[in-house]
């Protein structure tokens, strides 16, 4: 059986059109061209996921293919690599904890200098293996949380100063540095009806900062 394309989309935090969630064709924002994330296109969802055949297609940029190609694009790996990993996982019947997939450079970002040999550790001491995984995963998520807040502030500043492209480029560069998605989450928070308190705090701060530099910009927001 093929990997579930909708599960993959969820795992990568793609923005789904909730009205289509129980349908055969699920719509979501296209992470490849990001055309439907542009201002004024909040209601558009160009990427279509076929949950029967596990294929995808973007109606704007025409990126398309099967679920393995989908994963390879999202995780920036070759399709062969994705298929090999899938086969390996299927054979061992063992599902990797996401913390095990953190790279050494990601671990360094959260203050660890080495990547444990997870397979060995699991064999030697199951409790320690689990504790360590949870510890790493908690640290990573705390780090990612802060990164996402920062990305949101950057995105918001882009919208109020009219420098959207610049802020998007900054966020994308950071995504490449840390190997995790930030832009989708920022757009998701920005387009949600009820924004969390931290987002409002960041907005207030951004407005204050921009107000000092250029009062005319913020004038229009009130
Ligand atoms: Zn597209």
| Count of all residues that appear for the chain in the document | 222
Residue found by looking up tokens 């009219």 in the block: 162
Residue found by looking up tokens 């500043």 in the block: 157
**Rg value, the chain, Cα:** 20
pLDDT the model gives residue 218 = 44
The structural domains of the chain, ordered by start, are: 5-95 (3.90.580.10), 102-222 (no CATH)
For 22-37, the pLDDT digits (tens) are 899 999 999 999 999 8
* Distance from residue 7's CA to the centre of ligand 1 (Å): 19
* Distance from residue 37's CA to the centre of ligand 1 (Å): 10
Please tell me the pTM assigned to this model. 0.59
pLDDT the model gives residue 174 = 96
Residues 6+ apart with CB under 8 A from 163: 157
- The values of phi and psi at residue 194, to 5°, are -110, 110
Average pLDDT over residues 106-123: 93
* Distance from residue 152's CA to the centre of ligand 1 (Å): 22
């Amino acid at each position: 059986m093929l990997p579930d394309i909708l599960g993959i989309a969820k795992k990568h935090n793609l923005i789904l059109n909730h009205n289509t969630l129980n349908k055969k064709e699920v719509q979501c924002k296209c992470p490849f061209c990001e055309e439907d994330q542009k201002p004024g296109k909040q209601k558009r969802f160009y990427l279509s996921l076929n949950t029967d055949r596990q294929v995808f297609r973007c109606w704007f940029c025409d990126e398309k293919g099967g679920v393995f190609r989908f994963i390879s694009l999202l995780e920036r790996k070759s399709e062969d690599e994705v298929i090999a990993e899938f086969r390996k996982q299927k054979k061992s019947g063992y599902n990797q904890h996401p913390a095990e997939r953190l790279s050494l450079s990601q671990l360094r970002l959260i203050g660890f200098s080495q990547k444990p040999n997870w397979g060995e550790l699991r064999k030697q001491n199951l409790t320690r293996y689990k504790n360590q995984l949870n510890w790493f995963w908690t640290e990573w998520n705390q780090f990612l949380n802060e990164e996402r807040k920062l990305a949101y502030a950057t995105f918001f500043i882009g919208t109020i100063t009219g420098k959207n492209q610049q802020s998007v480029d900054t966020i994308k560069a950071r995504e490449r540095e840390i190997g995790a998605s930030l832009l989708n989450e920022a757009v998701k928070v920005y387009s949600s009806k009820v924004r969390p308190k931290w987002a409002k705090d960041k907005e207030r701060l951004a407005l204050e900062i921009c107000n000092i530099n250029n009062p005319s910009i913020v004038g229009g927001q009130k």
